[in-house]
Amino acid sequence: MTRKKLRILYLAQFLTEQSDEEHPVTLQEILAHLARCGISADRKSIYDDVEQLRLYGMDIVSVKGKHFGYYLGQRDFQLPELKMLIDVVQASPFLTANKSMELIGKLEKLASRPQARALRRQVYVMNRVRTDNERLYYTVDGINAAINENRQVTFRYFDWTAGGEKVYRREGGLYTADPVALCVDRHYYLVAYDSALGDYRHYRVDRMDGLTVTDTPRSPLPEGFDLGEYVKTVFDMYNGETRTVTLHFARHLTNVVTDRFGTGAHIRADGDGFALTAAVEVGPTFFGWLFQLGTEAELTAPEDVRRQFAHWCRDVLGMYE
């Protein structure tokens, strides 16, 4: 294939990378670019190529006037969408700083170069706690493969010491898990089913090492698992006993409660506030969430969970007396 036959591909690439509504490219600029690529062309051939690219589906807009030219209009992602995606990448604590910048660089390629420069001026990786597990991406990919192929996974699981060293649980022995789903709650978590306990377990993906997708099929999973409904019961992915509780809130906390339990939560008017009945995993993370609302929220039932919460509050208070 001669380079001349590649002309239309070079033209498509040039329009994609260099043009947008604020930066149309002229015929002279197109011809100069093709010449740098070792391809000769004239105005008529450019007109014909542009029409072919339009027939192919590219939204090439003509600019009328003294500086006649073209720009690529509709793209797969518009600039506000790319800004939103970059914000999400920047805010993700489960991505390392290097991986964040790598992903942002790839997202910038979906815009024109002038737009990418504008995006780059807004890009900074926030100074927040981030994972330093560079292999997280591959672990996530392996978990997805295991879920799709209905396979068990094995891995080692570790904790961090105060000195920043890894300490493996089970003395470095392997965990075997039946993966159900991946979810994000500030960090990436594997939700796995423990058939022996008849319950679900959670594992921080950035604290998993050496994940292997085995040839062993997963144990049978309960039917009707709904990840969206399940995560509403879980606070910061804490594994605890699932209980149905009733809570009373001051009226102005409606948005806070809806953010936590969703718009479909069982909320009803109750005196000068409102009541909520919901399934939660009882434990320190749930108690901590409730405690921050102070006297404007009350756990009213069941009585044994209410006593657990009161005992937890007394223990915390006792440290400061």
The string of DSSP codes covering 162-183 is TTS-EEEGGGGPPEEEEEEEEE
> Does the structure show a pLDDT above 50 at 315?
yes
Q: Give the confidence band of 246 by pLDDT, cuts at 50, 70, 90.
A: very high
Tokens matching residue 142: 């392996």
Q: Which of 128, 147, 86 is nearest to 111 (CA)?
A: 86
Q: Which domain holds residue 45?
A: 3-72
Asked if residue 258 and residue 194 are part of one domain, the reply reads no
Q: Give the confidence band of 128 by pLDDT, cuts at 50, 70, 90.
A: low
Q: How many CB atoms lie within 10 A of CB 134?
A: 12
pLDDT of residue 101: 84
Which position has the token pair 């914000």? 87
> Does the structure show a pLDDT above 70 at 94?
yes
Mark which of 225, 259, 282 sits at the end of a domain: 225
Is 128 part of a structural domain of the chain? no
Asked if residue 53 and residue 20 are part of one domain, the reply reads yes
pLDDT of residue 302: 95
Q: Give the confidence band of 125 by pLDDT, cuts at 50, 70, 90.
A: very low
Asked if residue 199 and residue 151 are part of one domain, the reply reads yes
Q: Which of 165, 155, 233, 160 is nearest to 199 (CA)?
A: 233
The predicted model gives 239-249 an average pLDDT of: 86
pLDDT of residue 16: 93
Residues near 270 by beta carbon (within 8 Å), at least 6 away in sequence: 248
Choose from 7-16, 111-120, 179-188, 277-286 the range with maximum mean pLDDT.
Answer: 7-16
Tokens matching residue 160: 């961090």
The predicted model gives 128-143 an average pLDDT of: 75
What total of structural domains would you count in the chain?
4
Asked if residue 213 and residue 174 are part of one domain, the reply reads yes
Asked if residue 210 and residue 289 are part of one domain, the reply reads no
To the nearest whole percent, how much of the chain has pLDDT over 90? 47
Is 127 part of a structural domain of the chain? no
User: Left (φ > 0), alpha (ψ -120 to 50) or beta: where does 271 sit?
Assistant: left
Least confident piece of the model among 124-133, 184-193, 204-213, 244-253: 124-133
CATH number at residue 189: 2.30.30
Q: Are strands 187-194 and 208-217 parallel, antiparallel or unpaired?
A: unpaired
To the nearest whole percent, how much of the chain has pLDDT over 70? 91
Asked if residue 88 and residue 15 are part of one domain, the reply reads no
CATH number at residue 50: 1.10.10.10
277-297 pLDDT, tens per residue? 988 888 888 999 999 999 999
Q: Which of 223, 220, 180 is nearest to 203 (CA)?
A: 180
Tell me how far apart the terminal alpha carbons of the chain are, to the nearest angstrom. 83
Is 170 part of a structural domain of the chain? yes
> Does the structure show a pLDDT above 70 at 32?
yes
Asked if residue 108 and residue 66 are part of one domain, the reply reads no
Q: How many CB atoms lie within 10 A of CB 129?
A: 7
> Does the structure show a pLDDT above 90 at 310?
yes
The predicted model gives 39-65 an average pLDDT of: 93
Q: Bigger pLDDT: 228 or 174?
A: 174
Asked if residue 140 and residue 110 are part of one domain, the reply reads no
Is 108 part of a structural domain of the chain? yes
Asked if residue 199 and residue 147 are part of one domain, the reply reads yes
Is 130 part of a structural domain of the chain? no
The predicted model gives 22-40 an average pLDDT of: 93
The predicted model gives 207-230 an average pLDDT of: 87
Looking at beta carbons, which pairs linking 219-224 to residues 24 or more positions away fall under 8 Å? 219/152, 219/178, 219/193, 219/195, 220/195, 221/178, 221/180, 221/193, 222/193
Query: In the 3-class helix/strand/coil scheme, how is 229-278 assigned residue by residue?
Result: HHHHCCCCCCCCEEEEEEEEEEHHHHHHHHHHHCCCCEEEEECCEEEEEE
Residue 202 CA, distance from chain mean position: 17
> Does the structure show a pLDDT above 80 at 229?
no
Is 131 part of a structural domain of the chain? no
Is 273 part of a structural domain of the chain? yes
Is 260 part of a structural domain of the chain? yes
% helix, strand, coil for the chain, step of 5: 45, 30, 30
Helix and strand counts by DSSP (H, E) for the chain? 11, 13
Q: What value does the CA radius of gyration of the chain take, rounded to a whole number of Å? A: 28
Reduce the DSSP state of residue 214 to 3 states and report it. Answer: strand
Q: Where are the beta strands (DSSP E) in the chain?
A: 25-26, 60-63, 69-72, 151-160, 166-168, 175-185, 187-194, 199-204, 208-217, 241-250, 266-270, 273-282, 297-301
Asked if residue 289 and residue 258 are part of one domain, the reply reads yes
Mark which of 205, 225, 245 sits at the end of a domain: 225
